[in-house]
Structure 1
Amino acid sequence: MAEGKIPFHQRVADKLIEQLKQGTAPWQKPWEATGSSGLPFNPTTGKRYRGVNVLNLMSEGRADNRWLTYKQAAAQGAQVRKGEKGSLVQYWQFEEERVVRDESGKPVLDAEGRQRKEKVELERPRAFYAVVFNAEQIDGLAPIVTTTHEWNPVERAEAILRASGAKITEEAGDRAYYRPSTDSITLPLRSQFPSADRFYATALHELGHNAATRIMPHGVEMARLAA
C-alpha cells in the first residue's frame, strides 16, 4: 500500500513501533531535547498539539518543540528552508456554523438585519490535514529559551565511566548512541537530564553496547558473562 493511502493513525503507530524496537520512542528518552520546554505547540496560535499529533511530532526527535505551517512561518518573516520535509498533523471538525432558517426555508434575521447563525453538531466528523515544519527547519525565527538542569556528579558512576576506557562525547542533541565504527559513545549534554540517575543510566546503557561489541568475537568470554 502506498504511503499516501495508509491511514494517518496507522502511519504514526508503525513509526512508533519501529522506534520502540530501537529504544528511541519519545517516552523512552530520560533526557530533554535542547531548547524544549514541553510538548509540541504552535507558536502562532499559542495552542499545544493534541492526541496522536503529539506522538507524531515528538517522534521526529526535534530539539525545538515549535511547529507551524509554511504560511505561518512566512507571516512572521521567517522562511522554511528549501528541501525540508514537513510533518503531517490531523485535526477534526465536529460541528459547523449554519444559517438559521424558518419553516419556509428563508434565513432568519436578527435585530440588526443580519442572518442568524447557529453551531450544529455534524453526524460524521470531518478529518482535515495540514503540513507543519519544526522551528529547526525554518530560518528567521527567534531562538527558543533553553531549559537546563543542574545536578552534582556521582563519583562512583564517574569512576566506572573512566575505567571503561570508552570514548564518551556529550553534545547538544536528542540522541544517545554507540557507534562501533569509531568505538565511541555520544550522549546529550548533562544539562539536558533532569537528574544524575537518568544521565548515568543512559551512559551505562550505551556502555553496555560498547562492552558487548568488544567481547562479541570471543565465545569464551561470552560464556563466562552468561554464567
Structure 2
Amino acid sequence: MPVNVLTKNGYTGINIVSLWVAAQLKGFSSPVWATYKQWSELGAQVRAGVKSSPVIFNKEFDAEPDPDVADDDGKPRVARASRVFNAAQVEGYALNPVPEPLGPVARIAGADAFVRGTGARIEHGGDRAFYRPSTDRIQMPPEEMF
C-alpha cells in the first residue's frame, strides 16, 4: 500500500489506485511517497527532471450548519491537489532493507488438532490459498511453501 514517508500514514481512496498505477507505469518497486518539501525535510533531494504524481488531500470539518443554506450539513469539506515523488526518484534517502524470509513455519499441534476436528476438507497443491464453495474445500499451497 502506498505510504507517506514522513507521516507514515497510508494513502487512502483514489490516491491508492493513482499511486499504484504511477508506480506500475514508471517501474517503481517502493510504495514510499512524499511531496518535494517532505523529501527536503528528510534531507533527500528529488532528482532533476523527474515527474511527480498527483494525489488529492481531502478533509471534512465539523461546524455549525448555516440556517440560511438548505443543504448545509455542517460538514464543510476541503480538497487540495498535491504532487508527490516516489522514493526511487530521490537521492539521499535509504529505503529500509527488505526483511529476510522467515523460513519454515513450525507446526502447532493444538491448531492442527482443532482444524482436523472441524472436518474441513483441505487439499494441498498450486501456488495460492483459497476456499472453493462449490466443492466445500480449502485449497492450500504445498506445505513446503510455508
Question: Normalising by the residue count of structure 2, what TM-score does the alignment of the two structures yield?
Answer: 0.56
Q: 2:121 maps to what in 1?
A: none
Q: 1:50 maps to what in 2?
A: 12
- Structure with bigger helix share is 1
Cα root mean square deviation, aligned? 2.7
Q: 1:78 maps to what in 2?
A: 44
How is 1:140-159 mapped onto 2 (pairs within 5 angstroms)? Answer: 140-147=92-99, 149=101
CA contact (8 A) 2:3 2:33 kept: yes
2:94 partner letter: A
- Deviation per CA, 1:22-65: give whole Å up to 9, x if none: xxxxxxxxxxxxxxxxx110120110101110111111222011
CA contact (8 A) 1:64 1:144 kept: no
Q: 2:75 maps to what in 1?
A: 122
Task: State the alpha-carbon separation in 2 of the partners of residues 58 and 148 from structure 1.
Answer: 24
Q: Closer, same or farther in 2 for the Cα pair 1:127/1:147, shift >3 Å?
A: same
2:127 partner letter: D
Q: Does 1:197 align with 2:91?
A: no
Q: Closer, same or farther in 2 for the Cα pair 1:144/1:94, shift >3 Å?
A: same
Q: 1:40 maps to what in 2?
A: 2
Quote how far apart the aligned CAs of 1:97 are.
7.7
Counterpart of 2:37 in 1: which secondary structure?
A: helix
111, 118, 136: which one aligns with 2:88: 136
Task: State the alpha-carbon separation in 2 of the partners of residues 87 and 49 from structure 1.
Answer: 13
1:126 partner letter: V
- Structure with bigger strand share is 2
How is 1:141-180 mapped onto 2 (pairs within 5 angstroms)? Answer: 141-147=93-99, 149=101
Q: 1:179 maps to what in 2?
A: none
Task: State the alpha-carbon separation in 2 of the partners of residues 147 and 121 from structure 1.
Answer: 47
Counterpart of 1:73 in 2: which secondary structure?
A: helix
Q: 1:13 maps to what in 2?
A: none
CA contact (8 A) 2:63 2:75 kept: no
Task: State the alpha-carbon separation in 2 of the partners of residues 69 and 48 from structure 1.
Answer: 14
What is the aligned-residue identity percentage? Answer: 33
Which residues of structure 1 form unaligned runs of 5+? 1-38, 99-119, 152-195, 199-227
1:133 partner letter: F
CA contact (8 A) 1:94 1:121 kept: no
Quote how far apart the aligned CAs of 1:96 are.
6.4
Structure number with bigger Rg: 1
2:75 partner letter: L
CA contact (8 A) 1:88 1:132 kept: yes
Quote how far apart the aligned CAs of 1:93 are.
2.3
